[in-house]
Amino acid sequence: MIFTSHFTFRGGPRKSKRMQRTTAIILAAVMCLSGASAICKPGYNSYNSHCYLYVNGPQPTANWYEASAVCKAEGGYLVIIQSSYEQTFLDGLIDNAVNQDNFWIGGNSLGKSGYYWTNGNSAETASYTNWKTGQPDNWNYPSDPNNQESCMQLGMQLAGDTSNKWNDARCNEKYFYICEYAE
Ligand SMILES: [Ca+2]
Ligand SMILES: [Ca+2]
């Protein structure tokens, strides 16, 4: 790891190279000893250089838009699940939750044909998808076009399926949610 080039020392380039090198070594040692998770904010969990926080409690707290805004305010986004490994990490993470059902995740079909993650990638034709059987189904599609199932969540109990697979749900419903951001 090379840190020296990233640091500007008061007094400019006339400071000794030895001091710069010593400082870089100390910083590298601190970062290595503290582990990757120390880079995440308190309460967040680290996986594959990303930080994750699930928001949970006795009662669901936010609709999809509100949850997305909270994650964004923290410098992140509603979780985008890109592999079975990331899904397995999340399964373990929310296994500790008080209420393990219904977490908003970062995909929707708003203004689009089909489901897309908020990074623009398809959530239906991607190499990894994890929808519950028969989902997304836009269940009980009402006459009100603003009340369709257009947002993605995981963990809804459907027909005896208690897994953390994905479902489309109404964006204005209050659920729990999971934020992700790069370290
Ligand atoms: Ca991700
Ligand atoms: Ca559905």
CA of 2 to the centre of ligand 1 (A): 27
CB neighbourhood size of 37 (10 A)? 12
**26's tokens:** 């100390």
Query: Residue 27 has what pLDDT?
Result: 46
Q: d(Cα 24, Cα 1) in Å, to the nearest integer?
A: 9
* Number of the ligand closest to the Cα of 87: 1
| Residues near ion ligand 2 (Cβ under 5 Å) | 135, 137, 139, 149, 167-168
Asked whether the beta carbons of 86 and 93 are under 8 A apart, the reply is no
Residue 17: band (very low, low, confident or very high) from pLDDT cuts 50, 70, 90: low
Task: Answer with the residue of higher pLDDT: 137 or 142.
Answer: 137
For 5-15, write each residue's pLDDT tens digit: 333 334 444 55
> 28-33 contacts: CB < 8 A, separation 24 or more?
28/1, 28/3, 31/1
Q: How far apart are CA 86 and CA 88, in angstroms?
A: 5
Largest CA distance in the chain: 73
Written as one letter, the residue type at 110 is L
Q: Residue 29 and residue 16: Cα distance in Å, rounded?
A: 20
Residue 83: what are its φ and ψ, rounded to 5°?
A: -160, 165
The ligand minimizing its distance to the Cα of 158 is 2
User: For residue 39, which amino acid is it?
Assistant: I
**Ligand in nearest proximity to the CA of 71:** 1
Q: Is residue 146 very low, low, confident or very high in pLDDT (cuts 50, 70, 90)? A: confident
For 167-179, write each residue's pLDDT tens digit.
Answer: 999 999 999 999 9
| Residue 83 alpha carbon to ligand 2 centre in Å | 21
Per the CB < 8 A criterion, the answer to whether 128 and 81 are in contact is: yes
| Mean per-residue pLDDT of the chain | 84
* Ligand 1 geometric centre to CA of 178 (Å): 11
What's the CA-to-centroid distance between 149 and ligand 2, angstroms?
6
Cα(42) to ligand 2 centroid in Å equals: 34
Tokens 């109990």 sit on residue: 157
Q: Are 48 and 180 in contact (CB under 8 A)?
A: no
DSSP state of 148: S
Quick: pLDDT tens for 40-80.
999 899 999 999 999 999 899 999 999 999 999 999 999 99
For residue 82, pLDDT over 90 is answered with yes
Which of 33, 34, 1, 27 is closest to 19 using CA atoms? 27
Closest ligand to C-alpha of residue 79 is 1
Which pTM value belongs to this model?
Answer: 0.78
Cα–ligand 1 centroid distance for 138 (angstroms): 24
Cα(125) to ligand 2 centroid in Å equals 17
